[in-house]
C-alpha cells in the first residue's frame, strides 16, 4: 500500500519532468531501506522504509539424544514411538542412529522443526517405591498424549522415569 502511495506521489511530482525514475518499477517494488526518486526540478521524494515482517516460524535443525536405556528393546520401542510422532506432525527427520554408550543404549534423532518448539524433559519424584514410579509414569504418558504433545523419550527404570516431550 505504501509503495502505491509513493508511486502516485512520484508520478504527480514528475509529470512535467524526467519520468525515468518513476517508470523504473523494480526500484519501487523492492523493500529497500533507501528508495529515493529525483525529478527534473531536483525535488527528492524519500520513501519511508517498509518493514518486512519476519516469518513467525523459521525452520531449524534439532538433534535429540535420548536418555540411557538398560535394554535395547526398550530403547527401540521409545525411538519408534518418537519417530512416528515426528512424522505425524510432518517434521523432517534427517538422521536416526542407535548407540551403545557405556553399558547403556541411546538413540539420536536429527530433525527439522520450527524454531519456536521447546523440548522439555520430566523426571519422577525422588525416593518413591517402584510401584508408585510405574503408576506415575503411565499417568504422565497418558497426560502428555492427551495434550497432543510429541513424546521423544519415555524411559521407565527401577530407580525412576524420564519423559521428554516437544511443546
Q: What angle do CA 102, 62, 68 make, to 5 degrees?
A: 20
What are the beta bridge partners of residue 120?
165
Indicate the pTM of the whole model: 0.64
Half-sphere CA count of 7, side-chain side, radius 13 A: 12
* pLDDT per position as a tens digit, 125-148: 788 899 999 999 999 999 999 999
* pLDDT per position as a tens digit, 76-109: 999 999 999 999 999 999 999 999 988 899 999 9
Task: Please report, in angstroms and rounded to a whole number, the separation of the first and last CA atoms in the chain.
Answer: 37
Residue 94 and residue 99: Cα distance in Å, rounded? 17
Amino acid at each position: 500500500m505504501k509503495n502505491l502511495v509513493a508511486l502516485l506521489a512520484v508520478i504527480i511530482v514528475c509529470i512535467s519532468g524526467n519520468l525515468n525514475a518513476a517508470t523504473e518499477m523494480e526500484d519501487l517494488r523492492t523493500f529497500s531501506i533507501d528508495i529515493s526518486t529525483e525529478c527534473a526540478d531536483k525535488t527528492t521524494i524519500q520513501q519511508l522504509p517498509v518493514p518486512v515482517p519476519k516469518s513467525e516460524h523459521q525452520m531449524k535443525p534439532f538433534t535429540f539424544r535420548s536418555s540411557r536405556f538398560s535394554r535395547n528393546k526398550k530403547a527401540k520401542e521409545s525411538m519408534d514411538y518418537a519417530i512416528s510422532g515426528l512424522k505425524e506432525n510432518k517434521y523432517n527427520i534427517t538422521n536416526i542412529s542407535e548407540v551403545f554408550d557405556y553399558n547403556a543404549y541411546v538413540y539420536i534423532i536429527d530433525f527439522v522443526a520450527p524454531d519456536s518448539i521447546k523440548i522439555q524433559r520430566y523426571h519422577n519424584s525422588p525416593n518413591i517405591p517402584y510401584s508408585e514410579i510405574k503408576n506415575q509414569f503411565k499417568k504422565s504418558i497418558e497426560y502428555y498424549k492427551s495434550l497432543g504433545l510429541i513424546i521423544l523419550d519415555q524411559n521407565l527404570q527401577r530407580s525412576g522415569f524420564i519423559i521428554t516431550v516437544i511443546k
